[in-house]
Amino acid sequence: MLLITAEGDTKNLTVNLLNLVIPLSMEIPVFTVDAFTNVPFKGNPAAVCLIENELDDELYQSISAEMNLSETAFITRQTSMDFSSGARFGLRWFSPKTEVPLCGHATLASAAVLFYIKNNVNPVVVFETVSGELYVRQNGDSIIMDFPLNNPKPQDQNEVKELLRAAVGDLPIQDVCYSETTKKLMVRLADTCDRSELMSLKPKAEALLRHETTGKIRSLIVTLKGAQNAETGHDFYSRVFAPWVGVPEDPVTGSAHSVLAGYWSEKLGKKKMLAYQCSSRGGELRLEIRDDGRLDISGQAQIILQGTLKF
């Protein structure tokens, strides 16, 4: 029993300790990182949390909803002693609505925190994820991620014609492909289209959700061949819409390029490509398909915010 006496009051108040709820506080370092850009407020922002031990999935999801970015990454120490000297870490990604199986920009952001903030001493760090081991290394002012190559297969347009109309309207379509591994539908606009038409697309999330309810598709990629004579030399452009996971448009998407790289490599006859994702923020990715069938995705990152989650 606990005896509490109010000041100026002769009456004692007795409280049963068993009825007291004492909250346990938690503090988690958190960072916001703009990925696939060399300037702040461009590219794709991701939240990165450093976790000493695994949390409940419900808590991961609550934190991600609070961050309200396309993805929040959670790095766990696993068997590493700390974030500065360890070479192997756990990594999970959550959108505001659900866990995602693969996320490029949040992986790039996670590596940036380890390399630039924690000054990790290793030239290569390994992330253990549901998509396998992802090796990440520094290369000058860029970070290179070793990703799986998810080549898409042709998709019958008639099976998704209403979804296509909701996404691109009356613009002519050259190819439609689907990656079963990533659940991404890729739509290539005809070469008669230009970048301005791609950038002008404004598909409504409600319409996309209405025309795809099977759970087969988690995001929709719209892509266009690059202007080969352009000064930028971009091999192809893209935009990515993912309302099925709570992201109306993903600004710059590394996992989408694990699908796009294989497709465009075959069409262009190139293993090294420069890609640009044409969201309002915009971002650039360097891609190289290696001889072992894996994909190197290279980009830069800017850490713009660091703090502590307290709850």
In three-state secondary structure terms, 263 is helix
| Active-site residue, selected from the candidate residues 52, 71, 128, 231 | 71
pLDDT tens-digit readout, 23-36: 468 999 999 999 99
Judged against a pLDDT cut of 50, whether residue 22 lies above it is answered with: no
Q: Is the pLDDT of residue 18 over 60?
A: no
Active site residue 128: no
- State the sign of the Cα–Cα–Cα–Cα dihedral 256, 259, 262, 268: negative
Which pLDDT value is given to residue 81? Answer: 84
Residue type (1 letter), 104: G
Which pLDDT score, from 0 to 100, does residue 24 have?
61
Using CA atoms, how far residue 147 sits from 245, 259, 297, in Å, is 21, 11, 7
- According to the model, what pLDDT value does residue 12 have? 44
Task: Decide: helix, strand or coil at residue 167.
Answer: helix
Give me the half-sphere count of Cα atoms (radius 13 Å) on the Cβ side of residue 279.
Answer: 23
pTM confidence score: 0.87
Domains and CATH numbers, the chain: 27-147+301-310 (3.10.310.10), 153-293 (3.10.310.10)
Q: Spell 239-253 as b/e; 16+ CB within 10 A means b.
A: bbbbbbbbbebbbbb
| Phi, psi angles (nearest 5°) of residue 148 | -70, 150
- 3-state secondary structure string across 208-270: HHHCCCCCCCCEEEEEEECCCCCCCCCCEEEEEEEHHHCEEEECCCHHHHHHHHHHHHHHHCC
| Amino acid (one-letter) located at 296 | D
Give the model confidence (pLDDT) of 104-144 as tens digits: 999 999 999 999 999 999 999 999 999 999 999 999 999 99
Neighbours of 206 (CB within 10 A): 11
Are the CB atoms for 130 and 101 separated by under 8 Å?
yes
d(CA 309, CA 145): 28
Query: Three-class SS of residue 220?
Result: strand
The single-letter DSSP state of residue 25 is P
Q: Which residues contact 199 (CB under 8 A, 6 or more apart)?
A: 239, 278
Position 79 scores a pLDDT of 79
pLDDT of 58: 97
Yes or no: say if 221 and 185 are a contact pair by the CB < 8 Å rule.
yes
Query: How far apart are alpha carbons 64 and 219 in whole angstroms?
Result: 18
Q: Give the residue-averaged pLDDT of 56-70.
A: 97
- Give the C-alpha separation, 251 to 143, whole Å: 18
pLDDT of residue 25: 82
pLDDT digits (tens, 9 = 90+) for 45-55: 999 999 998 99
| Whether the Cβ atoms of residue 147 and residue 104 lie closer than 8 Å to each other | yes
Q: How confident is the model at residue 242 (pLDDT cuts 50, 70, 90)?
A: very high
The dihedral over CA atoms of 30, 85, 301, 204, expressed in degrees to the nearest 10, equals: -50
Contact 285, 257 (CB under 8 A): yes
Distance CA(311)–CA(297), nearest Å, equals: 36
Taking Cα atoms as reference points, which of 16, 100, 118, 20 lies closest to residue 60?
Answer: 100
